[in-house]
Amino acid sequence: MKKLLNFVADCDAQEVAELAVVLPILLSLIFGVFSFARAYNIYSTITRAAQAGARVAVAPICTTCTQSCPWGTTAYPCDTTVTQAVKDAMKASHLDVTKIAQPSPLPNPSACPDPNLAKSCAAASDGSNVYICRNVALNTTTTNTALQTCGTIVSFQYPYEFIPVPFYTVGTVSIPAVAQARVEY
């Protein structure tokens, strides 16, 4: 105890001044690393959630079943089932599903070359902000329409507010999530 008191008594004002300069920089660096790590974690979580929704959207219910959805009769899941898959994946990582926002800009992919499939791009009919594009061309880089595959694109945004860092204010950013899946026949 006596050594500690001697150490404190021997401190110069220079050491206190160095601490006053270095401590804010060190704390800013630590908070910045934490903030960007959390933003990346949210990005990977919402991307995984969009992938889960796209996977559900393209998997047929059964080979002989159909159901009536707001956009027509289909053998594929309705929007409510797709958005529930998105929400379930986000809830598993403790993200607030009420913060889901519509993507900006809205995706406008090309229609599927198959004339039997009508393109449908709209916000999910259940009131969530998940945007679902069905029967769209996924690989539009090829000019041969016979080689293009049809599928579904699921997209949305999620807001993230960075931790306030001294000397720098980032505020809130919208992190986009986009996933696509090929239709299973």
Q: What is the pLDDT along the chain (185 residues), one digit of tens a residue?
A: 676 566 556 666 677 778 888 888 888 888 888 888 999 999 999 999 999 999 998 888 776 666 666 656 667 888 888 999 999 999 999 999 999 999 988 888 888 877 667 778 888 877 789 999 888 888 766 666 556 688 899 999 999 988 766 666 677 889 999 999 988 76
Say what the pLDDT of residue 67 is.
Answer: 65
What pLDDT does 49 receive? 95
Q: What is the pLDDT of residue 98?
A: 92
Q: What own/partner pairs with CB < 8 Å and gap ≥ 24 does 78-82 have?
A: 78/125, 79/124, 79/125, 79/126, 79/130, 79/132, 80/124, 80/125, 80/126, 81/56, 82/53, 82/54, 82/56, 82/57, 82/124, 82/130, 82/132, 82/154
In the block, which residue shows the tokens 């594009």?
133
Which tokens belong to 178?
């986009």
Residue 99 has a pLDDT of: 93
* pLDDT score recorded for residue 144: 62
What pLDDT shows up at residue 27? 84
